[in-house]
Amino acid sequence: MHKTIGMKFSSMGRAWIGLLLLGSVMFPSNAFSSEIKVFCTQGLTGVMTKLGPQFEHESGSKLLVTYGPTGGLVARVNKGESFDVVIVSNTALENLAKQGKVVDGSRTDIARAGVGVAIRRGATRPDISSVEAFKQTLLNAKSIAYTNPADGGVSGVYIAEVIKRLGIAEQLAPKTKLARGGTSSGVLVASGEAEIAIQMTSDLIPVAGVEVVGPLPAEIQSFAVLSAGISTGAAEQGAAKRLIVFLTSPAVVPVLRETGLEPPK
């Protein structure tokens, strides 16, 4: 009799423990104290992915990040979408500040992003050691890929300009694959749709199956400065400031380099 009662009590005890554990999952004791809505250029995806959880843990603020090309993010701001922090090219951020959409004086440079060339992992590495070598590599390639300039990505616009400057736009047009803004042209190389991808190095490194050959030759290289600013209508201005301070701390520098970026100068 006593044994049977003890077994029933044990079952009930386990049931109560189960309910308590369920409650701790549904109502965590370390719930976030605030949310930070971030519009972030695709070039910083690697940094935010690697360091976002650390910031959330240390600050108690949840990051709600929307990635995209600079042009696309600026368009969303201009449409009136709410955000707390925006990270785009420095020139785009300056324009947003002039329009009164970003707090004047809140601009903080986060990183510099250069343009690189990538191929499918294991493929023969092309010669991009000089401007002429790079030009011949593009002419000899069966297909090339970069992001669609019409979507407003900084690298896509610049690469189209470089190809025109080299005088090979007409020759390359039939074999050019344009990746949608906010995506990596490296995906087209990984899938075999293109032989060579040209984009910001930080956009190419994360793509599985892709190998970065190197940066563009110095004479035609271009660096985009990626800068953060706080919305004039930010619901969480204090938390937004803490995020920007975090992204400019010395501990972030190794992660910048690991993801194909450089500290701002």
CB atoms within 10 A of CB 186: 28
Work out the number of other CB atoms within 10 angstroms of the CB of residue 85.
27
pLDDT, tens digit, 9 for 90 and up, residues 85-105: 999 999 999 999 999 999 989
pLDDT of residue 32: 75
Q: Is the pLDDT of residue 6 over 60?
A: no
Average pLDDT over residues 177-185: 88
Flag whether pLDDT at 7 surpasses 80. Answer: no
Give this prediction's pTM.
Answer: 0.79
Write out pLDDT tens, residues 135-168: 999 999 999 999 999 987 888 999 999 999 999 9
Between 26 and 158, the more confident residue is 158
Predicted pLDDT at 33: 85
CATH 3.40.190.10: which residues of the chain? 34-112+225-262, 114-220
Count of CB atoms within 10 A of residue 130's CB?
A: 13
**How many CA atoms does the CB half-sphere of 96 hold within 13 Å?**
34
CATH, domain range 114-220 = 3.40.190.10
Give the Å distances, CA to CA, from 69 to 125, 219, 226, 264. 28, 25, 12, 19
The per-residue pLDDT for range 193-214, each reduced to its tens digit, is 999 999 999 999 999 999 999 9
pLDDT in tens, 205-256: 999 999 999 999 999 999 999 999 999 999 989 999 999 999 999 989 999 9
Whether the pLDDT of residue 24 is over 90: the answer is no
pLDDT attached to residue 60: 95
Of the options 3.40.190.10, 3.40.50.150, 3.40.50.1820, 3.20.20.100, the CATH number for the domain spanning 34-112+225-262: 3.40.190.10
Average pLDDT score, the chain: 88
Q: For residue 136, give Cα distances in angstroms to 37, 115, 161, 246, 265.
A: 44, 18, 17, 43, 32
pLDDT of residue 173 exceeding 90, the answer is yes
pLDDT of residue 12: 40
Q: What is the pLDDT of residue 265?
A: 83
Q: Does the pLDDT at position 22 exceed 50?
A: no
Is residue 1 predicted with pLDDT exceeding 90?
no
Angle 95-96-102 from CA coordinates, rounded to 5°: 140
User: Each residue of 111-126: pLDDT tens digit?
Assistant: 999 999 999 999 999 9
